[in-house]
Amino acid sequence: MLVMGVIITITSMQRSGGPFFFDANEFLISNPIGLLAFAGMIVAAVVMRRRTDWHRRLIMSAMAAILGPAFGRLMPMPLFIPSGLGWEVSNSIGLIFILVGMAADKRRLGAVHPAWFVGLAVGLGWIALGQLLAYQPWAIELTKSVMAGHPGAARPMAAYLP
């Protein structure tokens, strides 16, 4: 999934510059970071598979961390272009699953399991890290070099309405 996710991201950048409602550099840099966050939580869940309380919560958190594309297809993403918050909103809305899990634990067990806090921190952390890195000068240059010589280079770096 990691390898194919990066290949598909690069291919999308070269063919069309990525989704028009995200900044090109945001899409290229943040996508692999999200995949790494997902993979890290899956690895942690597999390592802790005998501790089923941690395992199932980390698996759910990993799923919540990669729901951005699914929610992005359901949301009116072009309406987020003026605010520039499309990436953050579409990728953080899946974290609602973690909040629901926290509430269920609190109601059922009287306390929130620590695995939920790990999942929430990783989910918010990868989005913040992606935003921090995507707008660095090297990331913008990397994005331009990935798209150079391909049809995707014709699109503006910033989100736009076609």
Query: Containing domain of residue 141, as a range?
Result: 2-15+23-153
| pLDDT digit string, tens, across residues 80-132 | 998 889 999 999 999 999 999 999 999 999 999 999 999 999 999 999 999 99
Structural contact between residues 119 and 41, judged by C-beta atoms closer than 8 angstroms: yes
Is residue 143 domain-resident? yes
Q: How far is Cα 65 from Cα 142, in angstroms, rounded to an integer?
A: 25
User: Which pTM does this prediction carry?
Assistant: 0.89
Is residue 161 domain-resident? no
Is residue 88 domain-resident? yes
Q: For all residues of the chain together, what is the average pLDDT?
A: 95
Is residue 45 domain-resident? yes
Q: How far is Cα 48 from Cα 31, in angstroms, rounded to an integer?
A: 26
Number of domain units in the chain: 1
Is residue 158 domain-resident? no
Is residue 162 domain-resident? no
